[in-house]
Amino acid sequence: MQNWLVRDWMTPNPIAADVHMSLPDAHQLMVTHKIRRLPVLEGGRLVGIVTRGDIRGAEPSSATTLSIYELHYLLARLPLKDIMHRDPVTVSPDTPVREAARLMLTHKIAGLPVVEAGRLVGIITESDIFRLVVKGWDEEGA
């Protein structure tokens, strides 16, 4: 397989959220755009990442004594900065895809924000790497 770079397979200009966005708004953004992870920005700089699992984990247990109205009220005021993973593992556009895949395996994560000069420029996910692998198989079989 060719020595591909992250820039060749990443999704450029990914959907991102502001650090002050509420949990329900972030969840809706993820559902609307059919994404599983959401980079979190503050002043245009990447400061964290939130996954659908993080959002599910922030929801209260069904054993709560709060009413549905109280739950909605509290969740609507919970900003992403309170549940995000700070200082996420990142790569640059010039990182070899092979290294990005190793980082995902090592850290047991399914996606990496792509950062250049402190700014989010893309995201590369396990799905992008699967596309690369399938392309390689197709080229070998051609």
Q: Where are the domains of the chain?
A: 6-141
What span, in angstroms and rounded, lies between the C-alpha atoms of 89 and 40?
13
What span, in angstroms and rounded, lies between the C-alpha atoms of 37 and 54?
9
pLDDT tens-digit map of 31-55: 999 999 999 999 999 999 999 888 8
Segment 70-93 shows an average pLDDT of: 82
With vertex at residue 137, the alpha carbon angle to CA 136 and CA 138, rounded to the nearest 5 degrees, is 90
What span, in angstroms and rounded, lies between the C-alpha atoms of 138 and 35?
27
Q: Write the class of the CATH domain 6-141.
A: alpha beta
Fill in the amino acid letter for 55: I
